[in-house]
Amino acid sequence: MSLAGRPTSKDVAQEAGVSQSTVSLVLGGKWAGRVSPATAHSVRGAAERLGYRPNQAARNLRLGTTRTVLLMVPTLSAPFFGPVYTGAARAAARHGFAVVVSTWPDDAVGPADSPFAAPDEAIDGILASSMAVEALGGFRDTPAVMLDSGPAGERVPTVDFGVADGMRAIAAHLAGLGHRRIGHVGAAVDQWTFHARGGALASAVAALPGGVLTRATCAIDVTSAKEAAGRLLDAPDRPTALVCDDDLIAAGAYKAARARGLDIPADLSVTGFDDVLLATALEPELTTVRLPAEELGAQGMATLLDLLSGGRPSPRVLPGELVVRESTAPPGA
Amino acid sequence: MSLAGRPTSKDVAQEAGVSQSTVSLVLGGKWAGRVSPATAHSVRGAAERLGYRPNQAARNLRLGTTRTVLLMVPTLSAPFFGPVYTGAARAAARHGFAVVVSTWPDDAVGPADSPFAAPDEAIDGILASSMAVEALGGFRDTPAVMLDSGPAGERVPTVDFGVADGMRAIAAHLAGLGHRRIGHVGAAVDQWTFHARGGALASAVAALPGGVLTRATCAIDVTSAKEAAGRLLDAPDRPTALVCDDDLIAAGAYKAARARGLDIPADLSVTGFDDVLLATALEPELTTVRLPAEELGAQGMATLLDLLSGGRPSPRVLPGELVVRESTAPPGA
DNA sequence: CCGGACGGGTAATACGTATGACTGAACGGC
DNA sequence: GCCGTTCAGTCATACGTATTACCCGTCCGG
């Protein structure tokens, strides 16, 4: 039991020859004009010597707080959300906050009814990723920050990726290579980020002289993606480039292309989105947009902590970055 | 603040017309012979009606416990550990426990000095994955369960994968296809699981009539793996099959093979280990050994909870499963 | 008819912290 | 020389729970 026998503020008080209240005042930083600098110093010394760490349970009880925030993500088994967690947890730890994770139930499209959705312990705030603000449900009046979920009105702060810019960068890159007939393999997932990706691509291609966009959607898995990409490739006047909503979808597109004897990038350019580990494991390596997932978690947590301490954080947008690798080339190269 | 205004045991007591102690007795389940069934029933009814949830902070303070366990993993950014967390958290949640994660610092080979290693809050137990029991360091006398870390002596329970059996299954599969010259692309990582994998493969090939094993090691990333696999392929009498310690390493082997104009599986069979998402995204799909990562987390947590409640859990081993896909075939097929 | 046992419940307390109310000494102003 | 202030702390209390010690009425054995 790493709790037993730990020094308490009372022990520190005794060691320093002061009262427990003084210890609490000093260590809480609220001693301006109440405790002499000399006393404060000796208290700090005593605390240091004893290796005093405040008992969080007692502090939480007293303050009616928990120093715990809930991170709601669709899953931790997808490659994207691990880093989000890491970034959030790291930022939280610096402020003495813990992070508990709630994932959506398997095969669910939203967080509702998750066995995780309402952890027994109370929480101070929520970091909710990739979901509509309405889905907060019972947590409506808990301070929350929405991640990668798009604009959410005045009431709740957001941190998003600049996915539209990212998609425009892809479109510009392909256009620059000479592509005009572009296929979009979209994720059939009702999340802001995918709507934004699709919308940005559509308008970018529409603005391109001679641009033609075809479109198919699929679930975010290789099999489904392969099938959807195949539909686009089998159409008359097939596209010379496939823009995929996600790296994993791009992997499916690779398979569809190979099954038809098309070489990437000579016969077909393919792009992904997110830049997960997979992107460099594929062959050829995937041109994609890198989204700073860990940064999303970190900035989200910073925003939430700001909110919790009474701030009025403004929305933030983290730019994606086009990473050109080997899967794109001029058409017919 | 989802804490404010929550009903307390005192509120329940009032609602039920009994004292707070009675409520605590009933809800704690320790009322045998102290409270009449009728009263107990009415207390439960009142608690239900008010939606009472005990305040964890108060309970923790009283009991000197935290209902929090620490999960130590190398990283959450690798595809393998997300599911481990999920399994552990799910099992923990069922018993009202929370899980906080500590990852190793970037580029570290062990958990030492991690900013996460000593979260401020105290913990009741530790689930430590993929590390030597000695590395527990300052947590030596906290109840702990080692995951995927090999035998750890009498004092600390373990949950491991049957990696040796898995590797033997791979060897048998390849031998059955007719392979004799086998290359091992090993992970140059000082973890039990990789030592076990290498050892099992070595003895399996040694036991194979005419079996020849060559070996190269690398870090667990595509570039490094490609280089290591290349060394094996460039040797005289190159192997007809490459056994990789990890799916990601197999991805590197694919690249090395392609760079040399070798077709998989016609000219070269390749196997992986772990069966992460990547395995089916590759082309051809990867023959590998599936390790039930989520199950590891779940069983590990079950073991830890058992330990915490005074049990003496015995070591468990979770079998891996050979998944034959498209990357293996008879040599020269 | 009395004492003890027992069933059914309550009162009181401690866990460790943060904080508002209070106190005693020194000191300055008039 | 006395009072109001400030300084430097301390006292007491509350947060919500679990548990130990106690209490009261009833029933039963002798």
Q: What is the pLDDT of residues A279-333, one digit of tens each?
A: 999 999 999 999 999 999 999 999 999 999 888 999 999 999 999 999 999 997 6
Structure tokens at B197: 């994998």
Q: Which of A75, A98, A222 sits opposite B121 (nearest CB)?
A: A98
- Output the domain CATH number for residue B179: 3.40.50.2300
pLDDT of residue A121: 62
Angle at A113 between CA A109 and CA A118, to 5 degrees: 120
- Contact between B284 and B264 under an 8 Å Cβ cutoff? The reply is yes
Q: How far off is chain A from B35, nearest CA to CA, in Å?
A: 26
**Which position has the token pair 């870090």?**
B219
Task: Name the token pair of B179.
Answer: 């392979």
Q: Which of B77, B114, B286, B307 to mutate to test the interface with A (most CBs of A within 10 A)?
A: B77
Would residue B328 count as lying in a domain? Answer: no
In a shared domain, residues A179 and A204: yes
Q: Is residue A45 part of a domain?
A: yes
Residue B197 and residue B171: Cα distance in Å, rounded?
Answer: 11
The answer on B262 and B113 residing in a single domain is no
Taking the C-alpha atoms of residue A165 and residue A163, their distance in angstroms, rounded to an integer, is 5
What range defines the domain where residue B28 resides?
9-54
Q: How far is the CA of B63 from the C1' of D17 (A)?
A: 9
Tens-binned pLDDT, residue by residue, of chain B (333 aa) = 334 568 999 999 999 999 999 999 999 988 878 899 999 999 999 999 999 999 989 999 999 888 888 898 888 888 899 899 889 988 888 887 888 888 876 544 444 444 344 555 678 999 999 988 888 877 777 899 999 999 888 889 999 999 999 999 999 999 999 999 999 999 999 999 999 999 999 999 999 999 999 999 999 999 999 999 999 999 999 999 999 999 999 999 999 999 999 999 999 999 999 999 999 999 999 999 999 999 999 999 999 999 998 889 999 999 999 999 999 999 976
pLDDT in tens, A14-33: 999 999 999 999 999 888 78
Is A116 in a helix, a strand, or coil?
coil
Cβ contact B32 with chain D strand, < 7 A: no
Residue type, B3: L
Q: Based on the fold, state whether residues B189 and B227 are members of the same structural domain.
A: yes
- In this structure, is residue B1 part of a structural domain? no
**Most B-contacting residue of A3, A52, A248 (CB-CB within 10 A), to test interface:** A3
Q: State mean pLDDT over A90-114.
A: 70
Is A77 an 8 Å CB contact of chain B? Answer: yes
C-alpha distances out from residue B117 to A200, A241, A288, Å: 43, 47, 35
Tokens of B263: 């077709």
Find residues 181-200 of chain A whose CB sits inside 8 Å of chain B.
none
Alpha-helical runs (H) found in chain B = 9-16, 20-28, 37-50, 56-63, 81-93, 163-177, 192-206, 222-234, 247-259, 278-281, 293-308
Considering the domain architecture, whether residues A191 and A256 belong to the same structural domain is answered as yes
Query: Letter for the amino acid at B251?
Result: A
Averaged pLDDT score across all residues of chain A: 90
* Predicted pLDDT of residue A3: 46
State which nucleotides on strand D lie below 7 Å from a protein beta carbon. 7-12, 14-20
B80 has a chain A CB within 8 A of its CB: no
How many angstroms separate the CA atoms of B223 and A243, rounded?
Answer: 26
CA gap B112, A287 in Å, rounded? 37
Whether residue B331 is contained in a domain is answered as: no
Distance in angstroms, CA of A17 to C1' of D14?
25
Whether B141 and B171 map to the same domain: the answer is no
A266 Cβ within 7 A of any nucleic strand C atom: no
Does A250 share its domain with A298? Answer: no
- The 8-class DSSP code of residue B313 comes to P
Closest chain A C-alpha to B5 CA, distance in angstroms: 10
Measured CA angle at A248 (ends A244, A251), to 5 deg? 80
Region A93-109: mean pLDDT is: 74
Assess whether A245 and A181 both reside in one domain. yes
Asked whether A275 and A291 are in contact (CB, 8 A), the reply is: yes
pLDDT at A328: 98
Q: Is pLDDT at A220 greater than 50 in this prediction?
A: yes
The partner residue sitting opposite B98, judged by closest CB among A65, A121, A222, is A121
pLDDT tens digits, one per residue of A229-271: 999 999 999 999 999 999 999 999 999 999 999 999 999 999 9
Please choose, from the candidates B32, B27, B5, the residue with its C-alpha nearest in 3D space to the C-alpha of residue B16: B27
Q: Which of B99, B103, B278, B291 to mutate to test the interface with A (most CBs of A within 10 A)?
A: B278
Reduced to 3 states, what is the DSSP secondary structure of residue A117? coil
Interchain contact A83–B (C-beta under 8 A): yes
A46 domain-assigned:
yes
Count of Cβ atoms closer than 10 Å to residue A300 Cβ? 29
Q: How far apart are CA B282 and CA A280, in angstroms?
A: 11
B65–A248 CB contact, under 8 Å: no
- The fraction of chain A above a pLDDT of 70, given in percent, is 93
Whether residue A60 is contained in a domain is answered as no
Q: How many domains does chain B have?
A: 3
Do A285 and A180 fall within a single domain? Answer: yes
Is residue A173 located within the same domain as residue A286?
Answer: yes
Q: How far is residue B232's CA from residue B239's CA, in Å, rounded to a whole number?
A: 7
Residue B201 covered by a domain: yes
Q: For residues A220 and A248, is the Cβ–Cβ distance under 8 A?
A: yes
Chain B residue closest to A61 (CA)?
B57
Count Cβ neighbours within 10 Å for each residue of A133-165 and write b for 16 or more, e otherwise: bebbeebeebbbbbbbbbebeeebbbbbbbbbb
Is the pLDDT at A142 greater than 90? The verdict is: no
In which region does residue B256 sit, left (phi positive, over 0), alpha (psi from -120 to 50) or beta (all else)? alpha
- Predicted local distance difference test score (pLDDT) of residue B4: 54
A191 with A277, same domain: the answer is: yes
Residues 6 or more apart in contact with residue B176 via CB below 8 angstroms: none
Higher pLDDT, A66 or A106: A66
Distance B72 CA to C12 C1' (A): 42
> Is residue A329 in some structural domain?
no
Domain shared by A189 and A258, yes or no = yes
Instruction: Give the distance, in angstroms, between residue B246 CA and nucleotide C11 C1'.
Output: 64
Amino acid at site B108: A
pLDDT at B1: 35
Please indicate, yes or no, whether residues B177 and B280 belong to a single structural domain of this protein: yes
